[in-house]
């Protein structure tokens, strides 16, 4: 093959020498060639006949197994190569130990919890094991699955920007059913507690528009305490609820122009922005961060490391909390946490391209 290639393309001889040898080695490893000639499988592949190639492979490869051997030590032994569907399901509920046809799968609390997190329950897991086991399900394994499932989901984790608390359960029920508060994404998690997807001050404004008298507490997370007022529900000033979608590009450009003008007036130049007008610059930077988080846009940050060296980084901010900002670095495809006091300048990436 090398001689034929060098004869046909003599100027590519050096490149062929490095590439073709590797291709031939891989082809021999796959059974496409042997002893310097094409095999039956290789001929079928060369003729672009995949059905014939699969038939040849089926004659020489053992059939995939559809069962395992469950043991009392919380393991399952595969007596051969398993069907892909069975192997994939086992890897969801157990951890593989070793490689090859006789793979051992070990069950543990963490592995069973992983399957439960994937949407399964104890009955479906045990039913699957009984269906694909050549032996009965051992009692220790059955107890492990049922015990882990009984403790799974006792604690639930969700997302909320603020929550509403009131001593009046009837008021909470009425508010949860109020169509004018649908934009807050309210959900009742306790008889006297609602959670909201909107920030606390926006939530409080909407509640005031409904004739309620909430108070916002500065706590983490934010609490909106609710109490009834004697005012007429329709007498309050209409409240603007921020849309949950990105604003038009024209509005964004106008707002950015105002921010640039205010920053120029407040800071004067880059040096005074860092030293003399740090508070104004910090506020503008936080506004840029919050806007980028809402719109999922990239920003350019000038970050100072522990040695005092600054570098310009383009990242996607994810959240801001406790004096730190969590960002995603598209170049490295990783998430990082940066201290806000190390960020000396923030600009939207779109601004840099204008």
Residue 190, classed as helix, strand or coil, is strand
Q: Which of 338, 343, 314 is nearest to 326 (CA)?
A: 338
Q: Which of 175, 171, 167, 174 is nearest to 196 (CA)?
A: 175
Residue pointed to by tokens 């004096």: 323
What is d(CA 254, CA 258) in angstroms, rounded to the nearest whole number? 6
Q: Which domains does the chain have, with CATH numbers?
A: 2-60 (no CATH), 69-151 (no CATH), 162-235 (no CATH), 249-353 (2.30.30.100)
Crossing angle of helices 84-93/122-132, nearest 10°?
140
What pLDDT sits at residue 124? Answer: 93
Q: Are 27 and 42 in contact (CB under 8 A)?
A: yes
β-pair partners for 194: 164, 188
Q: Which of 252, 202, 249, 203 is nearest to 226 (CA)?
A: 203
Annotate 331-344 with DSSP letters as a single string: TTTEEEEEEGGGEE
What is d(CA 252, CA 235) in angstroms, rounded to the nearest whole number? 33
Give me the average pLDDT of each 10-residue run along the chain (354 residues): 79 76 85 84 87 84 86 91 89 85 89 91 93 92 93 78 85 86 85 87 86 75 56 43 52 61 54 44 72 86 78 87 84 83 79 45
Residue 113, classed as helix, strand or coil, is helix
Count of CB atoms within 10 A of residue 227's CB?
12
What pLDDT sits at residue 60? Answer: 80
250-268 pLDDT per residue, tens? 555 666 666 666 665 555 5
What is d(CA 225, CA 163) in angstroms, rounded to the nearest whole number? 9
Longest CA–CA span in the chain (Å) reads 97
pTM over 0.95: no
264-317 pLDDT per residue, tens? 555 554 444 344 444 544 666 778 888 888 888 888 888 887 667 778 888 998
């Amino acid at each position: 093959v090398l001689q034929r290639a060098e004869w046909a393309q003599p100027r590519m001889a050096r490149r062929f020498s490095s590439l073709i040898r590797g291709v031939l080695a891989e082809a021999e490893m796959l059974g496409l060639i042997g002893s310097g000639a094409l095999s039956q499988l290789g001929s079928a592949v060369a003729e672009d006949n995949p059905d014939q190639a699969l038939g040849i492979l089926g004659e020489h490869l053992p059939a995939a197994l559809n069962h395992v051997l469950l043991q009392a030590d919380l393991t399952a032994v595969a007596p051969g190569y398993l069907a892909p569907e069975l192997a994939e399901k086992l890897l969801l509920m157990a951890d593989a130990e070793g490689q090859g046809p006789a793979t051992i799968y070990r069950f543990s609390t963490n592995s069973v919890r992983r399957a439960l997190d994937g949407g399964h329950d104890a009955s479906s897991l045990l039913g699957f094991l009984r269906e694909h086991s050549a032996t009965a399900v051992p009692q220790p394994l059955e107890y492990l699955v049922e015990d882990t499932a009984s403790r799974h989901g006792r604690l639930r984790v969700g997302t909320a920007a603020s929550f509403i608390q009131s001593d009046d359960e009837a008021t909470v029920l009425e508010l949860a059913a109020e169509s004018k508060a649908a934009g807050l994404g309210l959900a009742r998690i306790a008889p006297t507690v609602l959670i909201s997807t909107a920030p606390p001050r926006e939530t409080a404004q909407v509640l005031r528009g409904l004739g309620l008298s909430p108070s916002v507490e500065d706590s983490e997370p934010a609490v909106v305490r609710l109490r009834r007022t004697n005012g007429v529900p329709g007498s309050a000033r209409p409240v603007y609820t921020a849309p949950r979608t990105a604003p038009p590009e024209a509005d964004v450009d106008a707002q950015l122009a105002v921010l640039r003008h205010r920053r120029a007036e407040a800071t004067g130049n880059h040096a005074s922005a860092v030293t003399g007008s740090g508070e104004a610059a910090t506020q503008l930077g936080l506004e840029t961060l919050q806007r980028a988080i809402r719109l999922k846009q990239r920003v350019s940050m000038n970050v100072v490391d522990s040695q005092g060296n600054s570098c310009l980084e383009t990242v996607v901010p994810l959240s801001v909390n406790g004096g730190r900002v969590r960002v995603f670095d598209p170049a490295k495809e990783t998430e990082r946490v940066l201290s806000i006091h190390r960020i000396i300048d923030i600009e939207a990436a779109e601004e840099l391209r204008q």
